[in-house]
């Protein structure tokens, strides 16, 4: 237990200095704990994904303020609770939006899963297997992989297009790559 705690503290120190490997270690080490906690609170996987991504983005952005007298997981859970509260407030303020039948119809058209021209091209280039594995990811993860690796966008361009903070994009892409690697290794 002591060795693990020592390793965690070393990675926190490295992360404070901007070490990306340390950020990845902390993300991998604490993701399931924060995710599990928030899933129990929200009972909604999509909301939980959004909350946890934003939690790590905020934590990594403000890691210099972390006080090692307290548990790192406690600090992350506190951030996650605050992100969840903010999300609930935003939902309350947009709760009364009315959706017309036409808008509902348009939304259903967006969910069309027929292969796109890019899908056909990738299939022709013997990458259909990878594409199918990417499609097993949640849409938000598919989108960041598509923007980064198929449209070759920079992190900054992705952040602007998706109207999200840069750290959220980095963490979402990191998480998407990790989940894709798990899918690929299962096959």
Q: Which residues of 143-176 are buried (b: 16+ CB within 10 A; e: fewer)?
A: bbbbbbeeeebeeeebbeebebeebbbbbbbbbb
Domain count within the chain: 2
Instruction: State the residue for tokens 């709760």.
Output: 95
Please check whether residues 41 and 127 belong to one and the same domain.
no
Instruction: Assess whether pLDDT exceeds 80 at residue 95.
Output: no
Please check whether residues 145 and 73 belong to one and the same domain.
no
**Domain annotation covers residue 39:** yes
CATH number for the domain that contains residue 19: 1.10.1740.10
Predicted confidence band of residue 1 (pLDDT cuts 50, 70, 90): very low
* Tens digits of residue pLDDT in 139-177: 999 999 999 888 888 889 999 999 988 888 888 988 888
Quote the pTM value.
0.60
* Tens digits of residue pLDDT in 44-66: 888 888 899 989 988 988 999 98
């Amino acid at each position: 237990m002591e060795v693990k705690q020592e390793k965690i503290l070393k990675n926190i120190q490295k992360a404070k200095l901007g070490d990306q490997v340390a950020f990845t270690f902390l993300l991998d080490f604490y993701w399931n704990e924060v995710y599990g906690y928030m899933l129990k609170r929200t009972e909604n996987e999509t909301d939980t994904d959004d909350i946890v991504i934003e939690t790590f983005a905020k934590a990594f952005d403000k890691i210099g303020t972390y006080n090692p007298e307290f548990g790192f997981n406690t600090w992350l859970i506190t951030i996650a609770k605050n992100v969840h509260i903010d999300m609930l407030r935003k939902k309350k303020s947009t709760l009364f939006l009315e959706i017309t039948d036409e808008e509902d119809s348009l939304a259903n058209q967006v969910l069309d899963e027929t292969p796109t021209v890019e899908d056909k091209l990738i299939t022709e280039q013997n990458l259909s297997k990878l594409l199918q594995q990417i499609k097993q990811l949640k849409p938000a993860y598919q989108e960041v992989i598509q923007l980064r690796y198929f449209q070759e966008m920079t992190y900054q361009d992705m952040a602007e297009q998706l109207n999200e903070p840069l750290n959220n994009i980095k963490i979402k892409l990191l998480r998407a790559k990790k989940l894709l690697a798990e899918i690929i290794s299962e096959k």
